[in-house]
């Protein structure tokens, strides 16, 4: 798969304990993206954050939270990202989804990897 020039960055902000069909939502999203042929996805686990309800979620030992922020970032061409948006809309019941235009400078992988 080749991605060069203008592409889309899809960013999904959810909670660590969000679920989809009895599975962690972040895992369900990544597996769905892979099945749909999206170039790749990265899941980041936040150490602190808050959302619409202004309740702070933190990894601090003094204030241990069990629902840390999760960010999923996906970059692919416009067509593939737009094709996955209805599925993401169905899966994310509570959270934030953003879409930005980005310029891909380098996208490489080893042959056969």
**pTM, two decimal places:** 0.84
Residue 63 and residue 30: Cα distance in Å, rounded?
A: 29
Q: Let me know if residue 84 belongs to a domain.
A: no
Q: Phi and psi for 35 in degrees, rounded to 5? A: -60, -35
CB atoms near residue 107 (< 10 Å): 14
Q: Let me know if residue 80 belongs to a domain.
A: no
Q: Provide the residue range defining the domain that includes 55.
A: 1-68+94-113
Question: Residue with structure tokens 């899966």?
Answer: 91
Question: Residue with structure tokens 């601090």?
Answer: 60
CB atoms near residue 68 (< 10 Å): 17
Encode pLDDT of 1-59 as tens digits: 677 789 999 999 999 999 999 999 999 999 999 999 999 999 999 878 877 766 666 65
- Judged against a pLDDT cut of 70, whether residue 111 lies above it is answered with no
Task: Give the number of domains in the chain.
Answer: 1
Q: Which is nearest to 77 in space by CA: 109, 103, 53?
A: 103
CATH of the domain at 107: 3.30.70.120
Q: Let me know if residue 79 belongs to a domain.
A: no
């Amino acid at each position: 798969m080749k991605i060069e020039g203008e592409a889309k960055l899809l960013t999904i902000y959810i909670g660590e304990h969000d679920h989809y069909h009895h599975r962690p939502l972040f895992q369900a999203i990544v597996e769905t993206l892979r099945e749909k042929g999206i170039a790749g996805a990265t899941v980041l686990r936040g150490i602190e954050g808050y959302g619409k309800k202004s309740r702070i979620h933190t990894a601090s030992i003094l204030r241990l939270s069990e629902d840390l922020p999760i960010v999923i970032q996906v970059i692919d061409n416009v067509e593939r990202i737009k094709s996955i948006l209805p599925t993401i809309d169905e899966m994310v019941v509570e959270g934030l989804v953003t879409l930005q235009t980005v310029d891909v400078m380098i996208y490489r992988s080893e042959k056969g990897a």
